Structure 1
Amino acid sequence: MVATQTPGPVNADPAELAKFSALAHRWWDPTSEFRPLHEINPLRLAHIEKLAGGLAGKRVLDVGCGGGILAEAMAARGAQVIGIDLAEKPLQVATLHKIETGSSVEYRLVAAEALAEEMPGAFDVVTCMEMLEHVPEPASIVRAVAKLAKPGGHVFFSTINRNPKSFLFAIVGAEYVLNLLPRGTHEYAKFITPSELAAFCRASGLEPNDLTGMTYNPLTKVYALGRDVDVNYLMACRV
């Protein structure tokens, strides 16, 4: 069973929730539409673990956890993980996979803003990966994430930059040429520049301390972290 939230307005686009719910049954298939998430997960996990000084024994929240790929990986590193999402079908898939693998992740159907009121300052690490570009009010998510993290805690975001190159690579290339993602996965207008995200963070009491890019080489089919933040990037903050 997935714990549900109390009724009320939520910062979510019903079309976005439906989009990911329709594909939920394929979440843990590494050859499916979610292949990129499986392939970048080791990079994300290592990056988070390095900057957070390890995950073992820490309380971790994964906001927008989907089917639980990152949440389960962090739990396997010894973290006490809660994964939250507003799409019920992916959470059901995550819960079933948890049972199959014996993972300790707790999944909840709840908005970040609602959980921030319930559990302020409860987490050593909060992650919000590949989610901000799918919500109507990303700044609201950032505020909630900041409230959920403990003083001195670590916060990690990943999203997509907004510029002609990101349109070419993240939409035209990834969705129409290379077929890495289903067409319609992303909307260019919802992309967020690093300066915009940094402003959201600082306004919420977070101090950005690392900006790292993620790139994909279509010839070698390899993802890598580096300095190029033109398309995909990760931003780490301290509370």
Structure 2
Amino acid sequence: MNNVNADPAELAKFSDLAHRWWDPDSEFKPLHQINPLRLGWIDGQVSLAGKRVLDIGCGGGILSDSMARKGADVTGIDLSTKALKVAQLHALEAGTQNVSYREISAEALAQEQPAGFDVVTCMEMLEHVPDPSSVVRACSALVKPGGWVFFSTINRNPKSFLFAIVGAEYLLRMLPKGTHEYAKMIRPSELAAHCRAAGLSLEQTRGMEYNPLTQRYWLSSDTSVNYLVSSRKP
């Protein structure tokens, strides 16, 4: 792996946690299940091979790793030290090339490397930050003119409260209780406004649906709960 700035002894400490991030039956199971959908949707709009890609809020590196395997040169950033150690450990264990991880905010990296990336992804993260518009502005600053920015998040309405919080966290126990906060969920119109204010043009919006009986996810035109947005910098 290129540019590994890590102490193997430190990485070893987090190996137990790493197996939870990368255990497809752990609390991260939903991320593993939706990852092929996210990856295919992104790669279908811009071929990732040979692109310089930034994954904001990368966590344990599930999406970052899969984009690197598509031939992208990926940088994953997060503010969780433990998650990044997990991501680094997995890259070493799996032998994933072209992926590196840094503990830095999107805003700080935007000052350091403006227009530094062909593609920026920010998935399942905006609903967890105090000021999502600031992250969207940073994404716009980080991507090159003509480049792509991809988001995914959760709508805010009675149905999304029922499905994403009551259903996923309390009834089906797919996610730990308290994973999502209703007030921080973002309507597609709000995300669209953040994008336009940051100078990004909207390209496509897709919904992501889930059937708890078949445990299957698929993309659709229904954006009432989970949804994805692609945008470009002119």
Tell me if TM exceeds 0.5: yes
The residue number in structure 1 matching 2:198 is 204
The residue number in structure 2 matching 1:86 is 79
Deviations 1:100-143 (A, max 9, x none): 01112110000000000111101111000000000011000000
Deviations 1:207-228 (A, max 9, x none): 1110000000011110000101
The residue number in structure 1 matching 2:12 is none
Deviations 1:166-216 (A, max 9, x none): 000000000011111011100000000000000000000001110000000
The residue number in structure 1 matching 2:126 is 132
Contact 1:63/1:126 (CA < 8 Å) preserved in 2?
Answer: yes
The residue number in structure 1 matching 2:101 is 107
Following superposition, which runs of at least 4 residues in structure 1 exceed 6 angstroms of deviation? none
The residue number in structure 1 matching 2:142 is 148
Correspondence for 2:177 among 183, 186, 191: 183
Percentage identity across paired residues of the two chains:
67
Contact 1:142/1:204 (CA < 8 Å) preserved in 2?
Answer: yes
Q: Residue 2 of structure 1: CA displacement? A: 5.5
Amino acid in structure 2 at the alignment position of 1:170: A
Amino acid in structure 2 at the alignment position of 1:230: S
What's the secondary structure of 1:150's corresponding residue? strand
| Structure 2: unaligned runs, 5 residues or longer | 7-16
Correspondence for 2:55 among 55, 62, 85: 62
Correspondence for 1:47 among 31, 38, 41: 41
Deviations 1:44-81 (A, max 9, x none): 000000011x1100000000000000000000000000
Please give the root-mean-square deviation of Cα atoms over the aligned residues, in Å. 1.3
Q: Residue 25 of structure 1: CA displacement? A: 5.3
Contact 1:214/1:231 (CA < 8 Å) preserved in 2?
Answer: yes
Normalised TM-score (structure 2): 0.92
Contact 2:209/2:222 (CA < 8 Å) preserved in 1?
Answer: yes
Contact 1:206/1:238 (CA < 8 Å) preserved in 2?
Answer: yes
Correspondence for 1:232 among 222, 226, 233: 226
Amino acid in structure 2 at the alignment position of 1:229: T
Count of matched residue pairs: 220
| Structure 1: unaligned runs, 5 residues or longer | 4-22
